[in-house]
Chains A and B, each alone.
Chain A
Amino acid sequence: MINNYLALSIVLFCLGILGVVSRRNVFVVFMAIELMLNAANLGFVAVSRLHVNMDGHVLALMVMAVAAAEAALALAVIILLHKHKGNLDTNIFSLLKG
């Protein structure tokens, strides 16, 4: 049983990575990151059930709180990015190019 949950978690996580790496819209990248966080949550909760204790639940709640905070911040950043360039394509933000 646990294996199914973990497999789903890994699949979701990999989808998230794929989204971050391949998509160019900042919003989609952001959603992919949220997907990865929730994949991790799934894993935590599943393992927590397996061991019959609450540690994983606590951690999952914590991740949710962090995700909420991150969402608030990231959305603000996205608005600023949009104001700055009028476009949300990640490839046009390349100031760190060496």
Chain B
Amino acid sequence: MVHNVSYLGFIPLLPLAGALILGLMYLATCQGKQISERLYGILGCIGPVLSFFMALRVFFSLRGLPEQERFLSHVAYTWFSTGELDIPMGFLADPLSAIMLLFVTFVGSLIHIYSIGYMKGDARYGKFFAYLNLFLGSMLILVLGDGPVVMFVGWEGVGLCSYLLIGFWSDDRSNVMAGNKAFIVNRIGDLGFVLGMGFLFWGIGADGFDYLSLKANAQNLTAPVGLVVCLLLFVGATGKSAQIPLYVWLPDAMAGPTPVSALIHAATMVTAGVYMVARFSFLYAHVPAAGEIVAWIGMLTALLAAIFGMYQDDIKKILAYSTVSQLGYMFAGVGVAAYSAGIFHVFTHAFFKALLFLAAGSVIIALHHEQNIWKMGGLRSKLPTTYKTMLIGGLALAGCPPFAGFFSKDEILYSALASGHVLIWMIGVVVAGMTAYYTFRMIFVVFHGTPRDQEAFDHAHESPKVMTVPLVILAIGSVFAGFYNLPAIFGGHQKFSHWLAPSLVEHHPHGGVGLEILAVAASVVAFVIGVSIAYRKFSVPVAEPVYKGFNKFGYHKFYVDELYHTVIVRPYQFIGKAISRAIEPFVIDAPVQASGWLYRMFGLAFKVFQAGYVKVYAIYMVIGLSVLSLLVSQSLN
């Protein structure tokens, strides 16, 4: 039973309209009179905030329906139809997309509000909000689309916006390069998504290509095709959600303004891959092998990113690797068929990661765009609100009970353990410890100890209210979001999993209370060990360390970027150059030049008739008219 509600289309439309209006305003005024920042800020926030309220309405209307009827849909118009294929611009809100909608619009709105303060004084203030709105609108299309094709529109939209926003400060060449990198790496993933979509259509697309029809026909998909589809779609997810081997763009994406990082990492973009896998749970449920690969890639990414995170100097890069690592957890979750656990981690992660990024942004602004943690220190006294909120975010990220991250991470680890993936669980616990370590390494170095740069410290001051209020709201979310899915062992009812049940195809493993206690205990022990090591090393004033041996290897991120550069980029450039020198002049340029030459010769041949004298034209006219009248008189006879 699907209910039709027409306001669904407005949810993505509002930010998109905002983007259009702001963009036109900016275009019209970028060279002349400036529009005040206040106007831009207010207009920029209207769309997301209204979308949030509509998302709330969607959520509550779904709640009012019986469990198996929780599907709202709206077809705005037929997008295109060719032959048998009929693709509508349709939107579907079910429990899964409603949850995504809620936190995407909520966190997105807060980030928009925060940006009012963060971007103050930027010359391209209006453009920034236009892009930000476009980003959010694309994400909402992605989440709300009722089939893979509409999802792909949003999928490409967020890719485009990430490119625009990462390279936002385009005066610096390295920022532009980072934007390019994000775009190109994502393109590789997108190819996988398109191919996967093609195979899916080939397999079971004939009877409708929206989620509900696909779900109904999923069992008709043969196993090999199913595996291919799942893996190709996962390639798309590795691009968008920064998993091995396509994670390299995300740390570089830190080149963008901090609110953008928060938006990319928390609410939009990177969660798309996890959402997509959960959305296609009806496929993955039929192909356990694909899930196995997803889980392993996820957990290995989590491990690798955690290792890199332990050596970073840049406060935003630490957070970036923590995101990659947490995304790894989410994929491990959806890989072991615990889709609701994965989505729950997406949900809690949105709060604490947005919080951490925005708090880091507050630190960065206070120190006038200093991002190196080894130039900070002792900021606790100068930035009390930022410190407190960041500490809460850090505790949530590190998985300290009872903060949000603990419950969601524990749910994933428990699911891995209960479904028999003991090795994945063990790596997960180790990564949890490493997460606690690098999170608190960052917090101790930045906020504790003594100032390393006295002058910057003296000038530091707490951010304005428009920035700190979103921090506080997100901090509250980071504390309490976890209780939404309280497992039975803590006296809860797993409301979140039950809520998602109509959208997902999953069976909850029953490992027993013993396993649950084991999982919780291991997580807590890992957290305590991680934090205490960080405390031992960094609570006292320390200078910037010099890395040797394996540490140096880790500091340079295992030279993966350099490896990619040598193995992929360089040969590619070489082939490109070879083609441009050896093939292009002869195969492509030559025919083009020849056709130009041909027309030139043609023109030269006829040029002689254009004498330029009036009487010559008069003669042509007489001859022409004579011939014409002759012909006419002939035909009349």
Contacts and interface: CB of A to CB of B under 8 A. Distances in A.
B615 A21 contact: yes
B622 A17 contact: yes
Nearest to A24: B615
Contacts of B622: 17, 21
Contact of A22 (B606, B608, B615): B615
Contacts of B606: 98
Contacts of A47: none
Interface residues of A, number: 14
Contact of A98 (B608, B615, B618, B619): B608
A24 B613 CA distance: 10
A95 B614 CA distance: 10
Interface in B581-612: 606-612
Nearest to A29: B614
A97 B611 contact: yes
A73 B108 CA distance: 70
Interface string A64-98: 00000000000000000000000000110111111
A98 B609 contact: yes
Contacts of A96: 610, 612
Nearest to A23: B615
A9 to B, nearest CB: 15
Nearest to B611: A97
A63 interface: no
A90 B612 contact: no
A97 B613 CA distance: 8
A96 B611 CA distance: 7
Given A21-B619, A21-B622, A90 B614 contact: yes
Contacts of A24: 615
Nearest to A26: B614
Contacts of B608: 98
Contacts of A94: 611-613
A6 interface: no
Contacts of B607: 98
B612 A95 contact: yes
From A22, A29, A91, A98, residue with most partner B Cβ within 10 Å = A98
A10 interface: no
Contacts of B613: 90-91, 94
A15 interface: no
Contact of B614 (A17, A93, A98): A93
Nearest to B606: A98
A94 B607 CA distance: 14
B610 A20 contact: no
A97 B610 contact: yes
Contacts of A17: 618, 622
A17 B623 CA distance: 11
Interface in B492-520: none
A68 to B, nearest CB: 22
A17 to B, nearest CB: 6
A95 B610 CA distance: 10
B613 to A, nearest CB: 6
Nearest to A98: B610
B625 to A, nearest CB: 10
Given A17-B622, A21-B622, A90 B610 contact: no
Contacts of B614: 29, 90, 93
A37 to B, nearest CB: 14
B618 A97 contact: no
A85 to B, nearest CB: 14
Contacts of A95: 612
B504 to A, nearest CB: 74
A55 B615 CA distance: 33
B139 to A, nearest CB: 59
B418 to A, nearest CB: 86
Contacts of A90: 613-615
Contacts of B610: 96-98
Interface string A10-32: 00000001001110100001000
B614 to A, nearest CB: 5
Contacts of A93: 614
A20 B618 contact: yes
Nearest to A91: B613
Interface in B232-253: none
Contacts of B615: 20-22, 24, 29, 90
A21 B612 CA distance: 14
Contacts of B619: 21
A30 to B, nearest CB: 11
Interface in B297-353: none
A22 B622 CA distance: 13
A91 B606 CA distance: 21
A21 B621 CA distance: 11
A20 B623 CA distance: 13
A47 to B, nearest CB: 16
A90 B618 CA distance: 12
Interface string A21-51: 1101000010000000000000000000000
A96 B618 CA distance: 14
Given A24-B615, A97-B612, A98-B607, 12 more contacts: A20-B618, A21-B619, A22-B615, A90-B613, A90-B614, A90-B615, A93-B614, A96-B610, A97-B611, A98-B608, A98-B610, A98-B612
Q: Which 6 A-B pairs have the closest CB atoms?
A: A97-B612, A98-B610, A94-B612, A98-B607, A96-B612, A90-B614
Interface of B: 606-615, 618-619, 622
15 contacts: A20-B615, A20-B618, A21-B619, A22-B615, A29-B614, A91-B613, A94-B613, A95-B612, A96-B612, A97-B610, A97-B611, A97-B612, A98-B608, A98-B609, A98-B611
